[in-house]
Amino acid sequence: MYDKAKIWVEGGGGGNGSISFRREAHVPRGGPDGGDGGHGGDVVLACDPSRRDLGALKGSKHFRAQRGRHGEGSNRHGARGEDREIPVPPGTQATAVDGSSIDLVTAGQRAVVARGGRGGHGNRRFANSTRQAPRFAEKGSSGEADWIELRLKLLADVGLVGLPNAGKSSLLSRLTRAAPKVADYPFTTISPVLGTIEGEDRQAVVADIPGLIEGAAGGAGLGHEFLAHVERCSMLVHLVDLAPLDGDPVANYETVRAELTAHGAGLERLPELIALSKRDLLPIERVEAEVAAWRERLGDRALGVLAISSATGEGLDELRRQVLAELPETVSAPAAAVAADGDEFEAEHRVYRPAGEGGYWVEREEDGGFRILGRGVEMLFERHDTKNEEALAYLEQRLKEMGVLAALDRAGFAAGDDVRIGEHEFELHI
């Protein structure tokens, strides 16, 4: 079972705005009519119940959305780039490029992991009473891009835990219609297996979690790979072997409890039902004494204690009844991050209001030049051609409106000094 994947995601770049002027016979003062570039497509995770694990992502590591089309004359806007959809199974968790957490649990849910770039404005957007024929336009911005990790956590109601060879696979095959591998040696289960207990008016999904050993939470054995799958469960059925080949039943129970606690996700607080397995190997008097001793030892810490045998079927009906009776009526699933459709185009005007010194800041470099840092300022220059004199004049005006020029003065700037913003370097004469 593939429950982890690492992939490269890249939103499509935005299309460039157009520089165009209306030119028609007998139509005076046609004016600028350059259209906006289209936004780039997003990379989207889509919850697909037909997927069982993340194995399909092992072969393809790079996912890129389509770039937005460039704007054209006659006020024709470029088309938006198509999204790149990645189908994933229910229970998939990820962190988007912008750092937001994603948890997909319901079929049809969608979440954006890498947003496409914004389309650039055409020259029509920059026309005003004093700039009636702008000969510049914005370039589209690049989309978000980075490596992200996906992790699958099974959507199960009940987690079946215990040491290796405690009989979990045998129990699951008798309780449900699942067909896990069963053998007389430890670690026969090397990936989680799901089965369903059917009741008259409800059902419970049970996950057989591969055997935990001491140190599993720290990376020992196989169990540490699958402890995360227990996090979504509403309750645990803890299987304890009454006749273990190694160790003592009580010590074995505490070993598993210690690993659940060490995992650090609150697993030790889940309601727990104790199933003492392999009762057919002990005399009935011994079995009854063990059940009484465990009930006295655990008290209210456990939902109940019962003895079972997967070989003979003893106690299994009672176990089914207790699981269905103790399982909470509603299981609160984490809210999924769902993609929201944005506006088709940006607002005609944007106002930059840096929050104190947090919006941008000025640093003096060793050679006497000045570097302006801040995502908003850097994006402003990324989207304009600094070799275009009209565009550069527009950018200088924006820097003045944003208060950047005043911040340069306070830092000791003199006319003619070099100014660097992102990858751009130029002289300012103010």
Overall pTM > 0.75:
no
Q: Are strands 43-47 and 84-88 parallel, antiparallel or unpaired?
A: parallel
Residue 244: per-residue pLDDT: 86
CATH number of the domain encompassing residue 393:
3.30.300.350
Identify which of 49-53, 302-306, 418-422 has the greatest average pLDDT.
302-306
141 and 173 fall within a common domain: no
283 CB neighbour count, 10 Å cutoff: 9
Domain that holds residue 423: 361-427
- Residue 224 has φ and ψ, to the nearest 5°, of -65, -25
Strands (E), 288-378: 304-307, 361-364, 370-373
Specify which residues 272 forms β-bridges with: 236
86 and 130 fall within a common domain: yes
Contacts of 65 (CB under 8 A, 6+ apart): 10, 11, 12, 40, 41, 42, 43, 81, 82, 83, 84, 114, 116, 143
369 and 396 fall within a common domain: yes
DSSP string over 386-408: TTSHHHHHHHHHHHHHHTHHHHH
Specify the higher pLDDT residue, 184 or 136: 136
CATH number of the domain encompassing residue 212:
3.40.50.300
pLDDT in tens, 90-145: 889 999 999 999 999 888 999 999 999 999 999 999 998 888 889 999 999 999 99
Can you say whether residue 240 is alpha, beta or left, with left for phi > 0 and alpha for psi between -120 and 50 degrees? Answer: beta
pLDDT in tens, 271-285: 999 999 999 999 999
Specify the higher pLDDT residue, 27 or 107: 107
State mean pLDDT over 411-419. 86
Residue 221: per-residue pLDDT: 41
Buried-exposed string 311-322: b where 16+ CB fall within 10 A, e elsewhere: eeebbbeebbeb
Buried-exposed string 168-179: b where 16+ CB fall within 10 A, e elsewhere: bbbbbbbbbebe
205 and 274 fall within a common domain: yes
pLDDT at 369 > cutoff 70:
yes
274 and 305 fall within a common domain: yes
State mean pLDDT over 405-410. 89
- Cα separation, 366 vs 44, whole angstroms: 44
